[in-house]
């Protein structure tokens, strides 16, 4: 039997003490490979950087070269390492085959105290596997999102479910996500509701109020300033939407621009060549539709702040837009972010052309806005809670991340920002990890389910 083989106890995945001692120093690796991962991991890296003991290091898997660096730069962050991944066919199996040995080498060399993975990408799944096999605790940021359908979104839903089986700490963005984890028999004490770090990120960037960098966006803003108009943001890129569904959504967008001369549409096209070609075929040449490349995150935030409507299949946009009161039409058959739908911030409209167009026209006709101070995904303090939970994970070993023992090792003293609390209004479990209520303005988001 492999001496690194883990056991599972009431608090999750536990690793042998010898394995844990190989990673006793306090470096926390944050693994990112795509822009959304980088944006959501950035606030956690900043929070860990302020910690008195833990040291963050961002590892870029190389999945989306250039885009990760662009996303981190506005936060003043750069990757500690960037892996080189050769991709020819562009298939998932090819990426995993290249990433696994590369990530294993990083983990063997740096021996971190824990690995933080975010969301549901191929980088996320591969990193979690590599860390699990090396006996390094996996911290899953944005854990528990579920549609219950392995085909939608594909392959993200499967990635999430697989990571959940081997993570030691699950940082759930909402109470719904925590409930989904409990329904899958994930130990409740290993789940911490933090809020979504993307709310932290979008507030951080909005406060900086940087001018537009993209020339096309700068020109569009100047036109709107000079002549007025109504801005509509469209982002569509999901793999399950490629082909006919994407054509339907894009057709609705073109018709909307035709019918409403005051509407200006901006669509940051995904770098995938097939998606860009499809966007160009349907929307190309329209005088009031601006198609750009992927926008720098501050530019995207500028568009969100100014938009009157968002049409998207992006998960992140569903979470970000409510912070600015912008109504969202979700161009998907299902969403794992039903909190926005129930809160009246978003409407699930699918990809049918007539349905998307009808919903967009109703929003524009009524001028509806949503309460900007009631984002159902968080209050802007998720990273602080995530940092406290990671601190607690390490301070209370061996209850998280190492094997259960009849003679527990003496735990390190947790930082002042975290504590193990009992039955309080914010925490219903008798032995759960939560941020010290005295240090948190909103205990409702911080409760552990």
CA dist., res. 407 & res. 213, Å (int): 58
Question: Is 120 a residue of the active site?
Answer: yes
Residue 259 Cα to chain centre, angstroms: 35
Task: Note if 204 is an active site residue.
Answer: no
Q: How far apart are CA 260 and CA 306, in angstroms?
A: 17
Q: What residue spans of 343-381 are helical by DSSP H? A: 353-366
Q: Which of 336, 385, 351 is nearest to 191 (CA)?
A: 385
Residue 345 C-alpha from the chain's centroid: 18
Place of tokens 């759960």: 432
Tell me whether residue 64 is one of the annotated catalytic residues.
no
Rounded Cα distance between 155 and 120, Å, is 8
Q: Cis ω on the peptide bond leading into residue 155 (within 30° of 0)?
A: yes
- Which of 64, 204, 254, 270 does the annotation list as catalytic? 270
Give the C-alpha separation, 64 to 135, whole Å: 27
Q: DSSP readout, 265-293?
A: EEEE--S-HHHHHHHHHHHTT-TTEEEES
Measured distance between the N- and C-terminal CA atoms of the chain, rounded to whole angstroms: 35
Closest CA to 257 of 244, 267, 243: 267
Q: Catalytic annotation on 270?
A: yes
SS3 assignment, position 430 = coil
CA angle 117/122/127 to nearest 5° reads 40
Q: What separation in angstroms does the CA of 358 have from each of 54, 261, 338, 344, 404?
A: 51, 17, 21, 17, 57
User: Any idea what DSSP says for residue 330?
Assistant: E
Give the number of other Cβ atoms within 10 Å of residue 412's Cβ. 14
* Cβ neighbour number for residue 314 with a 10 Å cutoff: 20
Catalytic option among 237, 254, 264, 385: 237
| Residue that has been written with the tokens 């898997």 in this structure | 61
Please check whether residue 184 is in contact with residue 164, taking contact to mean a CB–CB distance below 8 angstroms: yes
- Catalytic choice (37, 142, 176, 299): 142
Q: How many CB atoms lie within 10 A of CB 214?
A: 22
DSSP element (H, E) containing 39: helix 35-49
List 37, 64, 120, 264, catalytic entry: 120
Report which DSSP code applies to 423: S
Task: Determine the Cα–Cα distance for residues 326 and 394; give it in Å rounded to an integer.
Answer: 39
Point out the residues that are catalytic.
Answer: 120, 142, 156, 237, 239, 270
């Amino acid at each position: 039997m492999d001496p690194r083989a883990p056991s599972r106890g009431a608090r999750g995945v536990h690793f042998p003490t010898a394995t844990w001692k190989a990673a006793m120093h306090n470096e926390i690796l944050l693994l990112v490979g795509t822009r959304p991962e980088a944006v959501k991991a950035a606030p956690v890296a900043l929070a860990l950087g302020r910690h008195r003991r833990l040291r963050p290091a961002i590892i870029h898997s190389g999945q989306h070269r250039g885009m990760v660096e662009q996303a981190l730069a506005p936060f003043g962050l750069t990757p500690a390492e960037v892996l080189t991944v050769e991709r020819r066919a562009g298939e998932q199996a090819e990426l995993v085959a290249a990433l696994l040995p590369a990530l294993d080498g990083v983990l063997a060399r740096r021996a971190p105290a824990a690995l933080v993975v975010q969301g549901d990408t191929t980088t996320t799944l591969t990193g979690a596997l590599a860390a699990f096999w090396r006996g390094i605790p996996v911290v899953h940021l944005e854990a528990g999102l579920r549609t219950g359908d392995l085909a939608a979104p594909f392959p993200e839903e499967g990635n999430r479910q697989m990571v959940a089986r081997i993570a030691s700490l699950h940082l759930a963005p909402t109470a719904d996500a925590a409930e989904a984890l409990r329904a899958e028999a994930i130990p409740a004490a290993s789940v911490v509701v933090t809020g979504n770090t993307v709310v932290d990120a979008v507030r951080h960037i909005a406060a900086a109020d940087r001018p537009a960098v993209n020339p096309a966006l700068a020109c569009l803003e100047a036109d709107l300033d000079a002549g007025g108009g109504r801005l509509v943001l469209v982002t569509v890129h999901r793999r399950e939407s490629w082909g006919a569904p994407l054509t339907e959504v894009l057709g609705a967008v073109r018709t909307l621009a035709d019918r409403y001369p005051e509407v200006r549409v901006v669509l940051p096209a995904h770098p995938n060549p097939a998606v860009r070609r499809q966007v160009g075929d349907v929307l190309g040449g329209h005088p009031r539709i601006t198609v750009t490349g992927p926008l720098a995150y501050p530019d995207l935030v500028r568009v969100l702040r100014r938009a009157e409507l968002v049409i998207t299949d992006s998960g992140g946009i569903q979470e970000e837009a409510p912070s600015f009161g912008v109504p969202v039409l979700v161009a998907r058959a299902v969403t794992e972010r039903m909190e926005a739908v129930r809160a009246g911030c978003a409407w699930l409209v699918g990809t049918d052309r007539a349905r998307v167009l009808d919903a967009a026209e109703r929003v524009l006709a009524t001028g509806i806005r949503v309460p900007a101070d009631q984002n159902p995904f968080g209050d802007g303090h998720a990273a602080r809670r995530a940092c406290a939970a990671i601190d607690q994970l390490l301070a209370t070993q061996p209850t998280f991340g190492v094997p259960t023992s009849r003679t527990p090792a003496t735990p390190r003293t947790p930082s002042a920002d975290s504590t193990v609390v009992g039955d309080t209004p914010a925490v219903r479990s008798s032995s759960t990890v939560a941020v010290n209520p005295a240090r948190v303005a909103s205990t409702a988001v911080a409760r552990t389910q």
